[in-house]
Amino acid sequence: MKRFLVLLAVMLGVGIGAAQTTITYWQYDYKTRVDAMNQLIAQFEAANPDVKVVQETFPYDGYPQQVAASLPAGQGADVVQLFYGWLPTWQRAGYVIPLPEQYFSATELDANFAPVAQAAKVAGTWYGLPTAVRSLALFYNADMLAEAGYDAPPATWEEFVEIAKALTVKEGDRFVQVGYGFAPNGQDHHLLREVLVRQFGGAPYSDDNLTVTYDSEAGIEALTFYTDWVTKYGFAVPEFVPGNNGYRDGFRQLENIAMIVDGSFAIGDVKKVAFNWGVTELPVRAGSDVKSNFGSFFMNGLTPNAAKDPAKLEAAARFLKFVTSDDAMKLWLDVVGELPASRTLIADPELAADPIYGPFVRALDYAHATVFVDESGQRDIMVDAINEVVLQGTSPAEAMKAAAAAEQLLLDANR
C-alpha cells in the first residue's frame, strides 16, 4: 500500500519534499539584525517544517535600489523589511501589499502594537508590522567624563555644552578628541527636526502633516543652537571620523568621540566596547520640562511576490506573525537591543527601570514619528540646511527658509 502511495505521488508530481513552501526574506545587512533573524528563522522552521525561509541581505545604501530593481520584475523577496519612512514611496510603487484581512485583524493590531506603529498604515490600512521600535538617547563615554571630573551625564543642553567643551582636545589646530560626534546624516537630522525644534517651542509640521512649519522663530533658534556646536563652541567637527557611520566608529572603536546621539538599535554594538559607558535620556533646555524624541521602526511587509500563490501567501503571513510575536520581540531585544513593539512588553516596569533600555523606553511616551512622504528626500533637505550653515556660512534663518520651501514642494508633490 505504501509503495502504491509513493508511486501515486510521483505520478501526480508531488514529491515527498514538495509540500514545503519556500519564502524569501530581505533586509539590509546589519550584523546583529541578521543574527537575530537567523535565530528566528531557525525557530520558525522547527515549528513549521512545511515552510523554508531564505534570508538575503544587502548593504544599507543600496538596499532600496535593489528592491526597486527586483520587485517590479516579479523577483526577490516575499517578505521584506523596510524603514517606516519609506512606506509611502514603497506603497505608491507597489512594492508592498496591504496585510491580508484573512490573516491579520486590524482591531487586534491596533490593540497589541505600540502607538508609534500606527505609522505602518497608509490611509488607515496596515502594510506591515514591526518587531521592534526605536527612540533616541545620548550615549556617553563614562571614563572620559570621569577623567574630566563629571560623575553624571548632562541633564540639560546647557550642561551638555559645558561637558562637550571640556572633553574636546586639540593639539595645535588639530582635533584629537571631540566632545560630540556630529552626524547630520546619522540621527542628528531627527534630533533637529523632532527634538530641538519642539523644545524651542515650535513644531516641524502642521497637525495634518501637510505644511512645513519649522521655518519659524523656534526652528531658527533650534538650528542656530545645533550648528553652534560646530561654529561657536567648537566641540563638534563635521566628518571628524569620515563616513556615515564615522560618529559611531569614533565613539565605539577609536574612542576619540565622547558623546553621540543614537538609536536603541545601537545598544547591541555598544555593549561590545571595552570602556565604561552609559546612556541617558536626551537633555532638555535649562528651566524647561519640554521633552521630545524621535520614534521610529523598521517594519516587515508582504510583497506582491507572496500574493502570486495562496500557499506562499499563507506561509509568508504565518512567518510575519511569528517574527512580530512577543517572543520574537524578546529575542530581538536581547540580540539587537531594539525595544519591543508590543504594548504589553513596553509597559513592563522592569524594562523601563533598566539602566540601558530604560532611557529609550521612557522616551517612547513623548516620541514623535515623522510622517514622511519621501524619507530620503526630506532627510537630504535637512542635512543640506545644516551643512549650508556649518560649511558655507549661510545664516540659520536663510538655511531654514530654503529648507522649508524645498520640503514643502516635496510634500505637495507626494500628496
pLDDT (tens digit per residue) in 26-35: 999 988 899 9
- Report pLDDT for 346: 87
- Report pLDDT for 365: 83
Packing angle of the helix pair 310-323, 31-47 (nearest 10 deg): 120
Choose among 222, 224, 203, 220: nearest CA to 212.
203
Residue 193 has pLDDT above 50, yes or no: yes
- Report pLDDT for 337: 81
Residue that wins the pLDDT comparison between 333 and 225? 225
Residue 254, phi then psi, degrees to nearest 5: -80, -20
- Report pLDDT for 391: 97
Residue that wins the pLDDT comparison between 61 and 95? 95
- Report pLDDT for 151: 96
Q: How far apart are CA 381 and CA 402, in angstroms?
A: 9
Residue 26, phi then psi, degrees to nearest 5: -120, 140
Residue 275 has pLDDT above 60, yes or no: yes
C-alpha cell recorded at residue 140: 556617553
Residue 13 has pLDDT above 50, yes or no: no
Q: How far apart are CA 117 and CA 297, in angstroms?
A: 8
C-alpha cell recorded at residue 311: 500557499
- Report pLDDT for 268: 80
- Report pLDDT for 18: 56
Task: Please state, rounded to an integer, the average pLDDT across all residues of the chain.
Answer: 93
Query: Could you tell me if 332 and 125 are in contact, meaning their C-beta atoms sit under 8 angstroms apart?
Result: no
The angle formed by the CA atoms of residues 242, 191 and 267, to the nearest 5 degrees, is 70
- Report pLDDT for 115: 85
Share of the chain above pLDDT 70, in %: 96
Packing angle of the helix pair 157-166, 217-231 (nearest 10 deg): 10
Residue 289, phi then psi, degrees to nearest 5: -110, 15
The pLDDT-based confidence of 264 (bands split at 50, 70, 90) is: confident
- Report pLDDT for 364: 87
Q: How far apart are CA 327 and CA 111, in angstroms?
A: 17
Q: How far apart are CA 225 and CA 400, in angstroms?
A: 13
Taking every pair of C-alpha atoms in the chain, what is the biggest distance, in angstroms? 89
Residue 406 has pLDDT above 90, yes or no: yes
The pLDDT-based confidence of 188 (bands split at 50, 70, 90) is: very high
User: What's the pTM value of the predicted model, to 2 decimals?
Assistant: 0.80
